[in-house]
Amino acid sequence: MKLSTLKNHSRDGRLLVVSRDLAWAVDAGDIAATLQDAIDRWSNVEGALRARYDALNAGSQAGAFAFDPQQAAAPLPRAWQWLDASSFLSHGERMQKAFGLDPIEGVEHTPLMYQGCGDDFLGPHDDIVLPSEAHGIDFEGEFAVLVDDVPMGCSAEQAASHVRLIVQVNDVSLRGLAPREMKTGFGFIQAKSSSSFAPVAVTPDELGEAWRGGRVHLPLRVDRNGQWFGHANGGAMHFGFHQLIAHAALTRRLRAGCLIGSGTVSNADPSVGAACIAERRAVEMIEQGAPHTPFMRFGDRVRMEVFDQQGQSVFGAIDQRVVCGGLPCA
């Protein structure tokens, strides 16, 4: 099943059911007003949503209209909690090697995770509005899962059953601000602006064999200003999403609507490119002694999209421009 959120005059938008080929949509507000409402009442509304999805795919659903991703908000425009991990070890290893950082003890056994800003997510075609190019504007291609209520102390095996939807993310990062915040030990605030999401959230069964081991075994294609940047595969996660959920729930419950991110998709094979500028710059430092790829400038565009084995877009595309705003621009 594929779900999306139509922008309207409210903060949380209007829930849509979207066809498998992303061509058609139908309003689902009579079943659940918003995606958060649907997650809160998943056991009660899933059947009706799936019936509408099946009818839409069969071409028999009344009220269907052409799906326009330009009008889509983030599937969940604001979340009760946004927890983002760093579960691709090749990404961390390259950053450590490039910058001469000490290895993080236990990183192979305990996930790295921080609590991000979940109150203002961007839609797939919304501009990324930021005040300064000097902050080191970067994109980060990721996957994330949306869970229902997860009990404290939930095991990784149990956690798999709490994944309700999978989404695709551009976790915008400001590399010039991150080092100081990391040194404080208090986590990111200024270095992490609003994250962006592809227009459609999908249930795990939509991925078929590509969803196994709590991982999305598909490449995430990233283009910068129309040029290929990378196509790393999500299957290389060291920790699966079930393990990330269990890690987050060790000492507290996770409420329905919590989003948990994978961190930057990264593969050990450098020929697949990168899903963020920082990693490409790290490779350049290792191989050439200095970084050459600049961070994003105002007017730059980034596009991210995942295709299944039949060449069909799974989540729709994130396609955004970076623009100046908020403060006097620099």
What CATH number is given to the structural domain containing 186?
3.90.850.10
Q: What is the pLDDT of residue 330?
A: 65
Which residue among 54, 70, 86 closes a domain?
A: 70
If asked whether residues 178 and 247 sit together in one domain, one would say yes
If asked whether residues 148 and 253 sit together in one domain, one would say yes
If asked whether residues 57 and 141 sit together in one domain, one would say no
Residue 76 token pair: 């969940």
If asked whether residues 82 and 150 sit together in one domain, one would say yes
If asked whether residues 129 and 20 sit together in one domain, one would say no
* Helix extents (H) in the chain: 35-40, 42-58, 89-99, 156-159, 178-184, 241-248, 277-288
If asked whether residues 79 and 62 sit together in one domain, one would say no
What is the amino acid identity at position 91? H
If asked whether residues 52 and 103 sit together in one domain, one would say no
If asked whether residues 6 and 152 sit together in one domain, one would say no
Beta bridge partners of 254: 150
Which residue among 44, 70, 96 closes a domain?
A: 70
Q: Which residue range is the domain that position 58 belongs to?
A: 2-70
268 in any annotated domain: yes
One DSSP character per residue, 208-261 reads: GGGEETTEE-SBEEEEETTEEEE--BGGG-SS-HHHHHHHHTSSS-B-TTEEEE
10 in any annotated domain: yes
One digit per residue, the tens of pLDDT, for the chain of length 330 reads 999 999 998 999 999 999 999 999 999 999 999 999 999 999 999 999 999 999 999 999 999 999 999 999 999 999 999 999 999 998 888 888 877 777 778 788 999 999 988 999 999 999 999 999 999 999 999 999 999 999 999 999 999 999 999 999 999 999 988 878 777 777 787 878 999 999 999 999 999 999 999 999 999 999 999 999 999 999 999 999 999 999 999 999 999 999 999 999 999 999 999 999 999 999 999 999 999 999 999 999 999 999 999 999 999 999 999 999 876 776
Q: Which of 39, 41, 15 is nearest to 28 (CA)?
A: 15
Q: Which of 154, 144, 164, 138 is nearest to 85 (CA)?
A: 144
What's the number of domains the chain is made of?
2
329 in any annotated domain: no
If asked whether residues 136 and 282 sit together in one domain, one would say yes
258-261 and 81-85 beta bridge pairing: parallel
Taking each helix axis from N to C terminus, what angle separates 89-99 and 277-288, rounded to the nearest 10 degrees? 50
Q: What is the pLDDT of residue 107?
A: 80
Q: What is the pLDDT of residue 321?
A: 98
Which residue has 């409210």 as its token pair?
Answer: 10
Query: Distance between CA atoms of 204 and 131, rounded to whole angstroms?
Result: 37
Query: Distance between CA atoms of 82 and 263, rounded to whole angstroms?
Result: 12
If asked whether residues 31 and 88 sit together in one domain, one would say no
330 in any annotated domain: no
Start-to-end Cα distance in the chain: 44
Query: Distance between CA atoms of 188 and 179, rounded to whole angstroms?
Result: 9
What does the buried/exposed string (b/e) look like for 269-300 if buried means 16 or more CB atoms within 10 Å of the residue's CB?
Answer: eeebbbbbbbbbbbbebeeeeebeeebbebeb
Which residue among 18, 36, 70 closes a domain?
A: 70
